[in-house]
Amino acid sequence: MISVADARAALLDLVAPLTVETVPLAEAAGRVLAEPVSARRDQPPFAASAMDGYAVNADEVERHAMFKVIGEAAAGHGFQGRVGAGQAVRIFTGAPVPEGASFVVIQEDVDRKGDLITITDAPGDNANIRDRGRDFRAGQTIDAPRLLRPADIALLAAMNIAEVPVRRRPVVALMSTGDELVMPGEIPGPDQIIVSNTFGLKAMFEEHGAHVRVLPIARDTEASLQTAFGLAREADLIVTIGGASVGDHDLVAGVAESLGFERAFYKVAMRPGKPLMAGRFGEGSMVGLPGNPVSAMVCGRVFVVSMIEAMLGLPTKTKPLAQAPLAAPLPANGPRQHYMRAIWRGADVQAFDSQDSSLLSVLAQAEALIVRPPNDPAREAGSLVEYLPL
Amino acid sequence: MISVADARAALLDLVAPLTVETVPLAEAAGRVLAEPVSARRDQPPFAASAMDGYAVNADEVERHAMFKVIGEAAAGHGFQGRVGAGQAVRIFTGAPVPEGASFVVIQEDVDRKGDLITITDAPGDNANIRDRGRDFRAGQTIDAPRLLRPADIALLAAMNIAEVPVRRRPVVALMSTGDELVMPGEIPGPDQIIVSNTFGLKAMFEEHGAHVRVLPIARDTEASLQTAFGLAREADLIVTIGGASVGDHDLVAGVAESLGFERAFYKVAMRPGKPLMAGRFGEGSMVGLPGNPVSAMVCGRVFVVSMIEAMLGLPTKTKPLAQAPLAAPLPANGPRQHYMRAIWRGADVQAFDSQDSSLLSVLAQAEALIVRPPNDPAREAGSLVEYLPL
């Protein structure tokens, strides 16, 4: 048996960052920036007023000082002249501060009569001016790789970057296998069940940036598997579900090998989980997940999501997991790393009593997976444990 | 000034859950379940083998016991006969357990010669059978409202729910206003800047389930604003950005009122933030956000996301915020609730030195907003503070 970390490393060896494509800014959220991009201008591009008020020379600012208003500067329409001694320009938030002015007296501190203003309150030390380039300078970069979030998108816009170089989304082909499976909406025979992994994994992988193609269910015949694999051409990653163990009815590996799959098995010291099948397949790669619903979802989260992130060019170095106190004690763990379905009790995390890997109803309630290392001793309530959020 | 909580309540009064629509299961991830749905069958639908092995009568299970193999049960293809005394059926994971059998001896514990098997190891107490309905029973419900995550999608599939009743996505029309704005990719004039809020807020609102329509930038003229509002018909929520204060150049409210907007202003005790404009507008509602980039994004997160969640039928009761220790001390807060841009230092949270509300570069680096109540006293490093994740 190999550790989860070693299995993950072996799977990551199968994939590499994909090519770069350019998308419009409005479609860049949730994508991964592939190359550093540089601001095309300073922000603000000029000294800008931070308030509505009057622009004057800072040296003249004091209580009871009077100024003649000689013009107006609005956002988008600066004042073209120069502010001289005893002069003021009416100014609005975001407007360029005119030449000669170095202070904006806020309108609440001013009494205006016709073209004359008088400062009525001590204006304090804040000039209410945002210096040119205070937010960023032309040429300042956003480093790659970076998963682009809403605030990044706003920043890219302000930098005047209308098109963004991002990694192509990995195409993941999902194939559930087994004579016992029918699609949702169909009427199952007496010995059949509804395929669930395909739909759960599709949602999970798409949430992490993949483009998922759902293949037809492959039956337990070579012909059916060949048909399904034939539809998976051009996928960056083929994920099969079920049929990957060494049981008599598990044909998947054999058929895949006849089509060029270079099979490796990894017996991973984890629960839930089973031997993982993995290898290169043509230009892409393939992973065989266990058919057990909870095992498939947990292995999808622990292994396949990491492969998707690697194809997106995101760092693959394992980050330390978050920690939380246990709401209830746990018995000692066995020799396999255990991903326990758990929920929050306030800021504490509590494992469900039933950790049976067939229970989708428990997985759907789970908010986190408590990650217990092999041979972790029994834990008291309040003891800190690591978890993966769900 | 009213509190953030009171402002939020006033905004939530403007919206209500939208209508229900039915989507295919494959498109239901990330949507909000609108009505309870019930499982159409038991899962498993029959007592199913949890392992590959041999199905026998539990009373006959002991080390050295011998059985005659009379048939096979595979997933999707049950054994049709009955297992009698001294008989066994070869069985695979997921197959129905045949009549007369009540125990599955795993294949590793059996020695097989032709049609005869001998139990070679003490099989233990676990029958390796998943009882019918162990995961869920027909009629068992998933309650609404519920934001559907990948594991929910898998569970809905297993329940044979091919179409899912969800709330319609709210249509949010986003209108940036101001003569100083140009779109990314355009060449700004000397007094102009690139519109950034529209793009950042679009990404944020879509992440929370809205369908966002970006309107043309409205100029500081009545005609331009009327054109933009004309394009916002049928939106559930119009969000204007900028032009909403009481400055001389702020025409937005007046034009909106001429088109049926019922304006209310809320002076909210928060930083960053400004007076919020809000009210009903035709069949929908409208919120005016400040034009300052960071203020717009923070008010979008604190107020508009809550309105979107309410339209999606999600609970609007304020949840307690998460808490984390401070990595560095903070001075006393003023009279307004402060949303401080912050990053993680391990498990501790640290506010940026510069909290100026014009700095998108700081917001883009931020991983959390530390939420400080009005008049919060100075805090030591290590002191627990509340935060909103970003």
Tell me if B364 and A78 make a contact (CB, 8 A cut-off): no
**Predicted local distance difference test score (pLDDT) of residue B1:** 85
- Ranges in chain A annotated CATH 3.90.105.10: 20-42+147-167
For residue B328, the 8-state DSSP code is S
pLDDT at A242: 87
Distance CA A363, CA B57 (A): 32
- Dihedral angle, C-alpha A149, B305, B156, A213, nearest 10 °: -30
Contacts with A289 (C-beta within 8 Å, 6 or more apart), sequence order: A197, A201, A239, A240, A241, A242, A244, A276, A295, A296, A299, A300, A304
- Residue pLDDT, tens place only, B110-163: 999 999 999 999 888 999 999 999 999 999 999 999 999 999 999 999 999 999
The whole-number pLDDT of residue A89 equals 98
Do B256 and B263 form a contact (C-beta atoms < 8 A)?
A: yes
Contact residues on chain A for B135, CB-CB shorter than 8 A = 358-361
| pLDDT value at residue B260 | 93
For residue A387, the model assigns a pLDDT of 96
What are the b/e assignments for A313-327, b being 16+ CB within 10 Å? bbeeeeeeeeebbbb
Q: Residue B243's pLDDT band (boundaries 50, 70, 90)?
A: confident
Q: Strands B20-24 and A384-389: what pairing?
A: unpaired
- Interacting residues of A301 by C-beta distance below 8 A, sequence separation 6+: A204, A369, A388, A390
Check whether B247 has a pLDDT greater than 70. no
Radius of gyration, alpha carbons of chain B: 31
Give residue for tokens 């480093």: A143
Considering CB atoms only, which of A74, A151, A199 is closest to B154? A199
| CA distance, residue A51 to nearest chain B CA (Å) | 10
8 Å CB contact of B151 and A201 = no
Domain with CATH 2.40.340.10 in chain B: 322-389
Q: What is the pLDDT of residues B181-234, one digit of tens each?
A: 999 999 999 999 999 999 999 999 999 999 999 999 999 899 999 999 999 988
A358/B154 Cβ within 8 A = no
Q: Report the pLDDT value the prediction gives residue A202, as an integer from 0 to 100.
A: 98
Cβ partners under 8 Å of residue B33, min gap 6: B142, B144, B145, B146, B147, B148, B152, B164, B165, B166
Residue of A30, A153, A203 lying closest to B153 (CB–CB): A203
Please count the helices (runs of H) and the strands (runs of E) in chain A.
8, 28
Q: Compute the average pLDDT of residues B54-81.
A: 96
Segments of chain A assigned to CATH 2.170.190.11:
48-130
Closest-CA residue of B relative to A189 is B76
Task: Tell me the C-alpha distance between B212 and A385, whole Å.
Answer: 40
Q: Give A95-111 pLDDT, tens digit per residue.
A: 999 999 999 999 999 99
Cα–Cα distance measured from residue B283 to residue B336, given in angstroms and rounded to the nearest whole number = 33
Chain position carrying tokens 């905004």: B11
pLDDT value of residue A83: 97
The CATH number of domain B20-43+135-167, selected from 3.40.50.150, 1.10.260.40, 3.90.105.10, 2.60.120.1440: 3.90.105.10
* Helix intervals (H) in B163-304: 197-207, 222-230, 252-258, 293-299
What pLDDT, on the 0 to 100 scale, is given for residue A377? 97
Answer yes or no: CATH 2.170.190.11 is held by domain B48-130. yes
- Contact flag B361-A136 (C-beta cutoff 8 Å): yes
Task: Provide mean pLDDT across the span B162-183.
Answer: 96
CB pairs under 8 A between A and B: 282
The correct answer on CATH 2.40.340.10 for the domain covering B322-389 is yes
Q: Which residues contact A225 (CB under 8 A, 6 or more apart)?
A: A177, A218, A219, A251, A252, A255, A256
pLDDT, mean of residues B323-337: 95
Indicate the average pLDDT of chain B: 94
Closest Cβ–Cβ partner in A134, A193, A364 for B155: A364
What mean pLDDT, rounded, does chain A reach?
Answer: 94
Cβ A33 vs Cβ A22: under 8 Å: no
Considering only CA atoms, which of A108, A116, A128 is closest in space to residue A87?
A116
Instruction: Give the residue from chain A lying closest to B366, CA to CA.
Output: A151
Rounded to whole angstroms, the Cα distance separating A377 from A273 reads 21
Domain B4-16+169-311, CATH class in plain words: alpha beta
Contacts of A199 (CB under 8 A, 6+ apart): A184, B25, B26, B153, B154, B156, B157
**CB within 8 A of A126, min separation 6: which ones?**
none
Mean pLDDT over residues A367-380, rounded? 96
Backbone region of residue A162 per phi and psi (left: phi > 0; alpha: psi in -120 to 50; beta: other values): alpha
* Rounded percentage of chain A residues whose pLDDT exceeds 70: 98
Encode pLDDT of A223-266 as tens digits: 999 999 999 988 999 999 987 655 555 789 899 999 999 988 88
Beta bridge partners of A384: A325
Q: For A43-82, write each residue's pLDDT tens digit.
A: 999 999 999 999 999 999 999 999 999 999 999 999 999 9
Can you tell me which residue has the tokens 């937005």? B252
Locate CATH 3.90.105.10 in chain B. Answer: 20-43+135-167
| pLDDT tens by residue, B266-279 | 889 999 987 888 99
pLDDT at A201 over 80: yes
Per-residue confidence band for A310, with pLDDT thresholds at 50, 70 and 90: very high
- For residue A180, give how far its alpha carbon lies from the nearest alpha carbon of chain B (Å): 4
Give CA–CA dist A281/B144, Å, rounded: 43
A158 with B193: Cβ contact below 8 A: yes
- pLDDT at res. B123: 86
Task: Report residue A173: phi and psi, to 5°.
Answer: -100, 125
For residue range A148-170, what is the model confidence (pLDDT) as tens digits? 999 999 999 999 999 999 999 99
Check A151 against B179: CB less than 8 A apart: no
Give which of A92, A282, A42 is closest to B248, Cα–Cα.
Answer: A92
Alpha-helix runs per DSSP H in chain B = 4-12, 150-158, 197-207, 222-230, 252-258, 293-299, 305-311, 360-365
The token pair that represents B307 in the structure block: 């309105």
pLDDT at site B222: 93
> ∠ CA(B4), CA(B146), CA(B301), 5° rounding?
30
Does CATH number 3.90.105.10 belong to domain A20-42+147-167? yes
- Look-up: residue for tokens 């609440």? A108
Contacts of A108 (CB under 8 A, 6+ apart): A121
Helix (H) or strand (E) holding A199: helix A197-207
The model's confidence at residue B242, banded by pLDDT at 50, 70 and 90, is confident
Select from A337, A331, A327 the least CA-distant residue to A371.
A337
Read off the pLDDT band of B249 (50, 70, 90): low
Q: Is the pLDDT of residue B300 over 90?
A: yes
Is the pLDDT at A319 greater than 80, yes or no?
Answer: no
pLDDT of A248 = 54
Interchain pair B194, A158: CB under 8 A: yes
At residue B390, the pLDDT reads 86
d(CA B196, CA B183) in angstroms, rounded, equals 8
